[in-house]
């Protein structure tokens, strides 16, 4: 368990991807994996301090954890990155869900340590089975889609099409 958020940690969420991909293959179901990253997080830490950055991380973790189905998985992948596992979910449905959560997160007003109010945003990358057929391939593809979302201006959700590098 991640000590800051109470979510699954890197190892546990990676193992969940492995288990859910095995299940998706066995049951011939779709599976989406989403990499989520808080936009301009370094700027939040630099301008408002690390306690405020931690507060933003906790707020996003709460949003993700409370808005997903009980059988979905979410974990802190590292730093300000989260990995979301959506069993029986096609890529287009994952994009719709993450877009809704992205808009909800942007509406949350957070108070920093020094009393300032900030609104934060995130970008997300979606990858899905059966387009990707190995656990690390799914994660890499979601990360590549996240990178494209960042390159395209942030505060958006992109889906990976094609082979993972």
Q: What are the residue numbers of the active site?
A: 80
Q: Whole-angstrom Cα distance, residue 129 to residue 122? A: 23
Instruction: Name the residue among 14, 121, 134, 125 with its Cα closest to residue 76.
Output: 14
Contact 75, 36 (CB under 8 A): no
Q: Whole-angstrom Cα distance, residue 80 to residue 82? A: 7
CA distances from residue 45 to 4, 18, 96 in whole angstroms, order as listed: 15, 33, 29
What DSSP element (H or E) covers 127? strand 122-129
């Amino acid at each position: 368990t991640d000590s800051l958020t109470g979510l699954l940690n890197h190892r546990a969420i990676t193992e969940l991807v492995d288990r859910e991909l095995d299940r998706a293959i066995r049951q011939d179901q779709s599976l989406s994996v989403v990499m989520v990253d808080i936009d301009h997080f370094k700027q939040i830490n630099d301008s408002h301090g690390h306690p405020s950055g931690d507060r933003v991380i906790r707020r996003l973790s709460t949003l993700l954890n409370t808005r997903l189905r009980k059988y979905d998985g979410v974990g802190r992948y590292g730093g300000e990155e989260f990995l979301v596992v959506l069993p029986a979910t096609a890529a287009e449905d994952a994009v719709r869900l993450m877009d809704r959560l992205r808009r909800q997160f942007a509406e949350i007003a957070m108070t920093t340590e020094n009393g300032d109010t900030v609104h934060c945003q995130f970008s997300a990358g979606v990858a899905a089975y059966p387009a990707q057929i190995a656990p690390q391939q799914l994660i890499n593809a979601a990360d590549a889609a996240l990178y494209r979302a960042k390159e395209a201006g942030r505060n958006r959700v992109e889906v990976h099409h094609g082979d993972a590098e």
